[in-house]
Amino acid sequence: MGRSGSCRPGRGYTVIVAEKPKAAEKIAWALGRPVKCRLYGVPYWVLRVNGSSIVVAPSAGHLYGTYTSQRGFPVYTYYWAPIWEHDRSAGYLKKFYLMLASILPKAGVYINACDYDTEGSLIGYMIIERLGDVRRAYRMKFSSLGREELRRSYRNLQPLDMEMVEAGRTRHELDWLWGINLSRALMYALSRFSGARVSLSAGRVQSPTLVEAKNRWVERSLHVPKPSFTLEIILDKDGTKFKATPLGWKPKTRLEAVEHARRIRKLGRMKVKAVRGSRAAMNPPPAFNLGDLQAEASRLYGYSPAKTQSLAEDLYLEGLISYPRTNSQKLPPAIGYNRILNSLRMGPYSGLVSRLLAETRGVLKPVQGRKDDPAHPAIHPTGESPKGLDRDHGRIYDLVVRRFLAAFAGKAVIAKTSVVLVDDDGYQYSASGVGIVVEGWLHYYPYAKPRGDQLPSLSPGEYVEVSAAKANTIWSKPQASLSKIELLKWMEKVNIGTEATRSRIIETLFKRGYLKNSPEVQVTELGLTVAAIIEELFPQLSSPSLTRYFEEKLEEVRTGRTTREKVIREAIATIDELLNVYRERLDNVGSSLSQALGLSRPRVKCMVCDREGRECNGYVLCKYHCMALIRLRRELAGIADAMGKSEQELLKWISSTRYAGTWVRDVARLLREKPTPYRGS
């Protein structure tokens, strides 16, 4: 391998198309000593390998997209064209297009070296197909931008992965067909009713995700907090304090809880009835896939899925970790366990790696997770030493390295102790403790260490002192949480979207104004309305079943069991059927959207909000506040009895507590201000 001093390699050279400039630079330097050149302000690299000229030229992601010249809806004819020609915000792509359009026509051999997934396969293929010659094209397959892996990939070129190309193309065309038709249908209804032009969107994956967010938000907003009562008892054994709680019973009212606490303090002691100890082994976790990494970064650092994905992709482009957009939890031997660990031994993880190699005695058998990905292994470090990482990138890199090391480590052993105590009146209580007996893999991944109190040494028959006892009221919380990471987990669970697209779809819901942070994730009035329209007029899209069905069809395209043309024809038939029903309700849709956007007012206004109102138990309320009123009235008397308070006292508390849903708080304030139902004239 040598160095060429010219940015003009002549004709008949090999051109390697990379997905991004950083990836192109990594590939060029892995293969030799390149010259960095520029054309239209875009860098590319020229070098000679074994006497042949090579040009490594980057794209900037997708250069081509789907477009149509038709107006209105439905629209089923489209073509592929450079994105910058149609999208003003993508003007930066023009210089990449012009650079590639100058370099590719003179090449003799083409290599697609974009990321090895359906997106990368499509990106490289479209560039070579439009600007070069796919008959003389090959594929580089790699899972990291490490020097050795890139060289190995170049030495083992494969034919173009046409089934992955077709799967990627099918996904784009499917998403475009669903998106443009449903979005235009919504915007047309609004424009026809109010004359307003507002950017609205719906789609094959976006819509069921929005409906799920809406359902969770509605349940949270309708939550009526219900009390349960417990006792917090602090016991003392020779100066070591620990907690106990009732076993097999609990106070039914606040007054009963307070009386029990007073009784326990008066007794002043409890007898140890039984002590049970057990040990449990904790198996090491597998290395991360993208969803697991996003969930862990959210739990530990509060990062959104999109932020974690972006940070991981930066680390990949720097050659520090393997390709992050993977579903795999498996580490195949082909990645080179010893090579990676020995490289990590040279950096800040030297102590951990040395300990791991000593513990395993060099026998490296990582735990393998259940999930797999045909294109890439689980996310792992390449062994390259990081330099100058900021806090956020450093955190993600640390998680990847530590989880990788933990996968090779031994089991952890946790000791659990449970104690049964009894007071002099015969009431039983329990206390529990946890301790780490064998640290095992937890030494390498301490973020998973179990939390719990350590108990003092206790024996049956001995007495312990009561240090304190108080009554606690525990208010119920809504079960369905609404956050970016919970939505992403739901998308993974029901198998819609991909590792690459899920976080982007969630961010689109925020961009469209369907969701907002305030400070928790909330569904806006527009989001509620669009979700309701989807549920009523596009019911197949209100659940994941239809979306998942087409995901399965995409997998069939990827594995060659069906064709893109068949899948597209089926999608068009489905969309056409849905739009025929939709047209009959255009005015209703337009009116609902107009009100949600504040462009028109309802004929009858809710007494609490700006939505359309209707009679509800003597009040004029929208459907959501009506549901809240019914739920609150059904529960209020029982809550008041349990708390020993009047209903008016409870309404005052509910109207301001964070335990109650938004709409329940609204209705509680209404009942305080207008306890007598409103009677219209």
pLDDT of residue 161: 94
d(CA 190, CA 199): 10
Secondary structure (H, E, C), 382-446:
CCCCCCCCCHHHHHHHHHHHHHHHHCCCCCEEEEEEEEEEECCCCCEEEEEEEEEEECHHHHCCH
What are the residue numbers of the active site?
323
Q: Per-residue pLDDT averaged across 524-546, rounded?
A: 92
Q: Per-residue pLDDT averaged across 452-456, rounded?
A: 85
Q: How confident is the model at residue 1 (pLDDT cuts 50, 70, 90)?
A: very low
d(CA 344, CA 467): 51
pLDDT of residue 681: 35
In the predicted model, is pLDDT for residue 297 greater than 90?
yes
Task: For residue 94, give every residue at least 6 positions away whose Cβ sits within 8 Å of its Cβ, in sequence order, or none.
Answer: 82, 84
> 549-569: per-residue pLDDT in tens?
999 999 999 999 999 999 999
> 146-176: per-residue pLDDT in tens?
999 999 999 999 999 999 999 999 999 999 9
pLDDT of residue 678: 55
Paired with 435 in beta bridges are: 415
CA distances from 197 to 64, 593, 596, 597 (A): 27, 11, 14, 11
In the predicted model, is pLDDT for residue 409 greater than 50?
yes
Q: Per-residue pLDDT averaged across 120-130, rounded?
A: 97
Q: Which two tokens stand for residue 342?
A: 């020995």
In the predicted model, is pLDDT for residue 4 greater than 70?
no
CB 65 within 8 A of CB 78: no
Q: Is 663 helix (H, G, I), strand (E, B) or coil?
A: helix
Q: Per-residue pLDDT averaged across 53-78, rounded?
A: 96
pLDDT of residue 165: 96
CB 409 within 8 A of CB 367: no
Alpha helices in 523-681 (DSSP H): 525-537, 544-558, 564-583, 586-596, 623-643, 647-654, 662-673
* Mean pLDDT rounded to a whole number for the chain: 93
What is the torsional sign of CA 4, 8, 10, 11? positive
Q: Which two tokens stand for residue 152?
A: 């190995």
CB 417 within 8 A of CB 432: yes
For the chain, how many residues are written?
681
User: pTM score, two decimals?
Assistant: 0.87
Q: Per-residue pLDDT averaged across 31-49, rounded?
A: 96
CB 316 within 8 A of CB 354: no
Minimum mean pLDDT among 25-34, 79-88, 409-418, 474-483: which range?
Answer: 474-483
In the predicted model, is pLDDT for residue 679 greater than 70?
no
> 595-634: per-residue pLDDT in tens?
999 999 999 999 999 999 999 999 999 999 999 999 999 9
Pairing of strands 52-58, 42-49: antiparallel
> 481-517: per-residue pLDDT in tens?
789 999 999 999 998 988 888 999 999 999 999 999 8
pLDDT of residue 203: 92
Q: Is 65 helix (H, G, I), strand (E, B) or coil?
A: strand
d(CA 406, CA 287): 8
Paired with 471 in beta bridges are: 231
CB 107 within 8 A of CB 14: yes
DSSP tag of 285: P
Pick 11 or 566 by higher pLDDT: 566
Q: Let me know if 507 is exposed, middle or buried by CB neighbors in 10 A (0-12, 13-18, 19+).
A: middle
d(CA 22, CA 57): 10
Task: For residue 352, give every residue at least 6 positions away whose Cβ sits within 8 Å of its Cβ, in sequence order, or none.
Answer: 402, 405, 443, 444
CB 23 within 8 A of CB 124: no
Q: Which two tokens stand for residue 339?
A: 């090579």
Pairing of strands 227-237, 52-58: unpaired
pLDDT of residue 2: 38
pLDDT of residue 479: 74
Separation of CA 88 from chain center = 29
Q: Which domains does the chain have, with CATH numbers?
A: 14-160 (3.40.50.140), 169-222+480-596 (1.10.460.10), 227-283+412-475 (2.70.20.10), 290-406 (1.10.290.10), 614-673 (no CATH)
Q: Is 473 helix (H, G, I), strand (E, B) or coil?
A: strand
Q: Which two tokens stand for residue 33?
A: 């000593």
> 203-234: per-residue pLDDT in tens?
999 999 999 999 999 999 999 999 999 999 99
